[in-house]
Structure 1
Amino acid sequence: MTIHKACPIALHPDGAPLRIAAFTHPQAGLQIVKGTIEARENPAKAAARELFEESGLETKSAISIGESEDISEGQTWHFAICRVAPPVRESWQHYCQDDGGHLFKFFWHPLNADPTGFALPFQNALNWVSDHLR
């Protein structure tokens, strides 16, 4: 059974260079936002929900840009562009309720930067996003 994941691509509104919201998980290292799509939930709406739950960022629209079964075995990742309205901070912290609660430390990761250092599925996801937004 395939697990479906929503991955919001929250881009910094200045657009130059393209930067995506990323964070340091206190137990699992560098990541980007993603989460499980609930039963009968639209993947783009799930991306917007996950973005808010994990980062505190809100988006007025989430637009699906594709999916991949090559990010993590047994999972299909659904990607959606989420426009974040300015102003935005260069870094921030957000307390996420998932898995008993964690404080995530966010920053903006340039999409043209090497994703080495991120956990492997997130390296794969960043490469997918970079390839599809060129």
Structure 2
Amino acid sequence: MNKACPVVVRNREDQFEVLVFRHPIAGIQLVKGTVEPGESSRSASERELEEEAGIKLKAEHLLLEWQRNPEEPTWAIWLMEPGDHLPDCWDHYCEDDGGRLFHYFWHPLSLSTDSE
């Protein structure tokens, strides 16, 4: 089954941030999930974001389709509409895998190439 990954970014005080969540067992992650039969990767990205984060945003740009080898799924990475209006953090109960509480927050995207 192919996979979809919606990426949400925002700009706060000239600092770009990406939306991530803390999984209670598996650590910090991006939202991701399976593309259902007959569903587009765009629609899957929008659905997964709503199911896993409780937010509705449109998928705006396909950033990447990637497959490591023919036996593995193809990953579609979608840039969603900006999340500038979203809160700094929130918790969302996701019913996948028997139900888990995910803590959402913004992680800075450093564009610095400083090498010391």
Query: Residue 11 of structure 1: which of 9, 12, 16 is its match?
Result: 9
SS at match of 2:15: coil
Larger radius of gyration: 2
Amino acid at match of 2:75: W
- Equivalent residues of 1:45, 1:62 under 8 A apart: no
In 1, distance between residues paired with 2:82 and 2:25? 27
> How many residues are aligned here?
109
Q: Which runs of 5+ in 1 are unaligned?
A: 114-134
Identity of aligned residues (%): 39
Q: What stretches of structure 1 move > 6 A for 4+ residues in a row?
A: none
Q: Could you list the per-position Cα deviations for residues 27-85 of structure 1 after superposition, in whole angstroms to 9, with x for gaps in the alignment?
A: 11111100000012111111011111101121134332221124xx8222101111145
- Equivalent residues of 1:48, 1:62 under 8 A apart: no
Q: CA RMSD in A?
A: 2.1
TM-score, normalised by the number of residues in structure 1: 0.72
TM-score, normalised by the number of residues in structure 2: 0.82
Q: Which runs of 5+ in 2 are unaligned?
A: 112-116
More helix by share: 1
Q: 1:62 to 1:69 in 2, by over 3 A?
A: same
